[in-house]
Amino acid sequence: MKLILLGPPGVGKGTQAQLLTKEYKIPQISTGDILRGAIQKGSDLGQKANSYLSKGELVPDDIMLGLIREKLFGDVPLGGYILDGFPRTLVQAKALKTMFQENNDTLDAVLSLEADEKLILKRLSSRRTCRNCKAVYNLITKPPVVSGICDTCSGELYQRNDDKIGTIQNRIAVYKKQTEPLIDYYRAAGILIAIDSSGSPQEVHGFITSQLED
Ligand code: AP5
**Separation of 13 CA from ligand 1 center, angstroms?**
6
Position 63 in a domain: no
Position 124 in a domain: no
Strand order in the sheet with 192-196: 28-30, 81-84, 2-6, 109-114, 192-196
- Residue 33 contacts residue 162 (beta carbons within 8 Å): no
Please work out whether the CB of residue 88 comes within 6 Å of at least one atom of ligand 1: yes
pLDDT score at 170: 95
- Total domains, the chain: 1
pLDDT score at 74: 84
Position 140 in a domain: no
Position 142 in a domain: no
Range of the domain at 86: 2-27+78-115+175-213
**Separation of 14 CA from ligand 1 center, angstroms?**
6
Position 138 in a domain: no
Q: How far is Cα 31 from Cα 33, in angstroms, rounded to an integer?
A: 5
pTM confidence score: 0.96
Position 207 in a domain: yes
Q: Collect contacts of 131-134 with beta carbons under 8 A, ≥24 apart.
A: 131/155, 131/156, 131/157, 131/158, 132/156, 134/33
Position 162 in a domain: no
pLDDT score at 7: 98
pLDDT, averaged per 10 consecutive residues of the chain (214 residues), comes to 97 97 95 94 94 96 94 86 97 97 94 96 95 94 97 96 92 97 98 97 97 90
DSSP 76: S
Give the pLDDT confidence of 157-200 residue by residue, as tens digits. 999 989 998 899 999 999 999 999 999 999 999 999 999 999 99
- How many residues belong to the chain? 214
Pocket residue to mutate for ligand 1, from 31, 126, 176, 205, most atoms within 8 A of Cβ: 31
pLDDT score at 147: 97
pLDDT score at 77: 75
Position 205 in a domain: yes
Whichever domain contains 187, its CATH number is 3.40.50.300
